Amino acid sequence: MAEATIEGRAASQPLRLQDDEPPQRTAAVAVGVKPAAPAEQDFSAPQRFEFTGTGSEYFRIWVVNLLLSILTLGVYSAWAKVRRLQYFYRNTRVAGAIFDYHGDPKAILKGRILALVLIAAYQISFDISVVAAVIVALILAGITPWLLARAFRFKMANSSYRGLRFHFRGTVGEAYRMLILFPVVLAFIGLFIWSIVVSYSHNPGIGVILLTTLLPLIALGVTVPLAHYCLKRYQHDNADYGRTPFYFHARASAFFKVYGKAVGFFFLGAIPAAVFGFLTAGLFAFLQKTIFGWLFALVYGLLNAYAFYLFVRPYLESRIQNLVWNNTELGMHRFESAARARSLLWIHASNLALITLTCGLYKPFAAVRLAKYRVESMTLVPSGDLDEFLADHCNDHAGAIGQEAGDLFDIDIAL
């Protein structure tokens, strides 16, 4: 009788479908068939990195950060950095989970105050005498490896994946052994920029131009690849995820090879630089006669340098990313990167054009666009079942690693 009553109700009342429920599932329930369980993700297969952020979302964060930083005379910039990094970390996904950033804005503010003090000390010493400026510059160069070590430790200790913190165990002593070339590189870069300004403002002879431009370039060509290799080796070989260390297998010769090929793109950049110089030569000659001639000379030189850089950057950016991550392992698991120079050239060139046309308003969209391409060029290749590896780490309470980073400070160093 009960079965007949149920059948009668079913016949008299049509089956109603929920708006958010597919018909197949509802039909299965109506006839008493148990729905099939969703297929579990296979974590033993290669896992592509994903970036889910959008330009419109980040634009709102960027505008608020900018306005509050201006209203607080830059004090809020430390909090703005945390909001920015949290947005990019939390929109980066691999193997079904996201990354997160836990940096303390107060620690970041300490680092920025320190940076301002160092810059002010150098500026004041330069106004006093050349000798004082040289002494302060040497002091700044001497503490650069220490600053890099602190920056790496802060960043890793405040980064997490699946709730588990990363850890950086590089010591200051190792930093001085591995990163001592960076002060030398910075000195050569400063000399190169100075030589460009002098060349355009004082119109020296060809001999002086060759001496002040080519010699710093040759020195940079020798020191930069080796310094970059030492930096990445120090950074990756001293990083851990939970209890599992990262390993870095690239050789210094591979960095020299990449930078050697980049030299060809540097000379290729001379073509747009020459066109730009030809089209603006008359304007530059006129502006140089004004009281702000030195400023125009500096801007003019930097624009020409950027014309070179626009060709070199995409190649170096793609090849270095591929070189570093294709030679990095997390325990037995490895990474793959397939970034392409042509794609990055289009992204950088179009981003620059759109930022210029929109008076800077496209900048957050450009940042998201670049991050999305670089992140989605990456793949994690597991050696075995990645799910068991992650479960084993998440059950361990190593997430407490890095809590001591609250006493540290962050230095903004983009490398």
What's the pLDDT tens digit per position in 73-117? 999 999 999 999 999 999 999 998 999 999 999 988 888 888 888
The pLDDT of residue 285 = 67
pLDDT tens sequence across 129-168: 777 877 887 888 888 888 888 889 999 999 999 888 999 9
Name which of 362, 360, 366 is nearest 347 in CA terms. Answer: 366
Mean pLDDT of the region 9-31:
42
Output the average pLDDT for the chain: 78
Can you say whether the dihedral through the CA atoms of 329, 334, 340, 343 is positive or negative?
negative
**Nearest Cα to Cα of residue 225 among 190, 171, 182:** 182
User: Quick one: pLDDT at residue 2?
Assistant: 43
Q: Which residue is listed with tokens 């505008």?
A: 63
Contact 270, 308 (CB under 8 A): yes
Are 381 and 56 within 8 A, CB to CB? no
Q: Which of 100, 96, 78, 103 is nearest to 88 (CA)?
A: 100
Q: Closest Cα to residue 405, out of 79, 144, 85, 153?
A: 153
Host H or E run for residue 151: helix 130-157
pLDDT of residue 8 exceeding 50, the answer is no
Tens of pLDDT, residue by residue over 340-365, are 999 999 999 899 889 989 999 999 99
Structure tokens at 126: 């330069």
Q: Which two tokens mark 246? A: 């990262």
Q: What is the pTM of this model?
A: 0.76
d(CA 372, CA 55): 10
Residues β-bridged to residue 334: 329, 381
Looking at per-residue confidence, does 339 or 277 come out higher?
339
Confidence bin at 237 (pLDDT 50/70/90): very high
The pLDDT tens digits of the residues spanning 377-410 come to: 999 999 877 766 766 565 544 333 333 343 444 5
Q: Is 40 helix (H, G, I), strand (E, B) or coil?
A: coil
Q: For the residues of 180-217, what is the DSSP string, one character each?
A: THHHHHHHHHHHHHHHHHHHHHH---HHHHHHHHHHHH
